[in-house]
């Protein structure tokens, strides 16, 4: 077994846990299964993570990093609002569709954390990260499309995360891609109605809260938004 710095080994184990949990569910992501996926001994996992709970918290952080990466997509210069929102919907849907297992995992992490006190911060961090990422994206839209949001970005971000969560979960249940895409496009049209021209009076806009720095990881992106990552929104 190759010797790796602890940070690199942790990253390898997080990716292994993501792979196992996305494929087989959280319950299957035992320390033994993660070790086997990564091709290391049990001792290596226990050296890097105190227990499975710590490993799952790291997995949740990785998903949030993936979700935040979605907001880094460049907004075309001088693009009009309709184009920006259309591109956002297309990218969002690709992230959901191409990573079904990890999308489901994001919901599993949320509900599991609400059931277990040792993980209770996971759900809070997931949604805080998702809403913060959306706020930053909404702020970039303002500058790119030369518009202002008619309502506070924090309120609009909460609406975006909740709506995308709903569409993504419904798609996981019924697999109706056409209805999901149509619903997301209609929601984008609704968002366009929540803007005013630059210079018009709007409600006070608090600055988007700075997000914790999380290192991006390779793998599925989960909007959820989600987080998505989150990617839940």
pLDDT-above-90 percentage for the chain: 43
- Tell me: the pLDDT tens digits for 118-176? 888 888 888 888 898 889 889 988 888 889 999 999 999 999 999 999 999 999 999 99
State how far the alpha carbon of 100 is from the alpha carbons of 33, 159, 174, 214, in Å: 21, 22, 12, 23
Q: Structure tokens of 8?
A: 């690199």
Q: What is the mean pLDDT of residues 93-109?
A: 88
Beta bridge partners of 195: 149
Residues 6+ apart with CB under 8 A from 81: 141, 145, 147, 192, 195
Q: Which residue has the higher pLDDT, 58 or 224?
A: 58
Split at pLDDT 50, 70, 90, the class of 96 is confident
Mean pLDDT of all residues in the chain? 82
Evaluate if residue 210 carries a pLDDT over 60.
no
Please tell me the predicted confidence (pLDDT) of residue 69: 66
Q: Which residue has the higher pLDDT, 36 or 83?
A: 36
Residue extents of the structural domains in the chain: 73-209+222-233
Classify each residue of 164-178 as buried b or exposed e, where b means 16 or more C-beta atoms within 10 Å of its C-beta.
bbebbbebeeeeeee
Classify each residue of 109-130 as buried b or exposed e, where b means 16 or more C-beta atoms within 10 Å of its C-beta.
bbebbeeeeebeebbebbbbbb
Please tell me the predicted confidence (pLDDT) of residue 3: 76
- Tell me: the pLDDT tens digits for 3-36? 778 899 999 999 999 999 999 999 899 999 999 9
- Tell me: the pLDDT tens digits for 44-78? 999 999 888 889 889 888 887 776 666 556 566 67
């Amino acid at each position: 077994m190759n010797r790796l710095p602890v940070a690199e080994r942790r990253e390898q184990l997080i990716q292994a846990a993501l792979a196992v949990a996305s494929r087989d569910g959280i319950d299957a992501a035992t320390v033994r299964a993660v070790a086997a996926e990564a091709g290391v001994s049990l001792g290596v996992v226990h050296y890097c993570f105190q227990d499975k709970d710590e490993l799952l918290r790291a997995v949740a952080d990785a998903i949030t990093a993936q979700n935040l990466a979605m907001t880094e997509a460049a907004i075309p210069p001088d693009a009009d609002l309709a184009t920006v929102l259309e591109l956002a919907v297309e990218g969002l849907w690709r992230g959901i569709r191409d990573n079904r297992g990890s999308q489901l995992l994001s919901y599993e992490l949320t509900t599991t954390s609400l059931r277990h006190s040792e993980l209770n911060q996971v759900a809070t961090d997931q949604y805080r990260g998702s809403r913060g990422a959306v706020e930053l994206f909404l702020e970039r839209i303002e500058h790119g499309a030369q518009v202002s949001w008619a309502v506070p970005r924090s309120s609009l971000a909460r609406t975006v995360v909740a709506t995308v969560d709903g569409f993504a979960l419904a798609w996981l249940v019924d697999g109706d891609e056409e209805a999901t895409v149509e619903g997301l496009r209609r929601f984008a049209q609704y968002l366009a109605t929540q803007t005013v021209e630059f210079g018009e009076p709007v409600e006070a806009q608090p600055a988007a809260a700075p997000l914790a720095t999380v290192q991006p990881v390779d793998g599925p992106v989960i909007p959820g938004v989600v987080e998505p990552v989150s990617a839940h929104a």
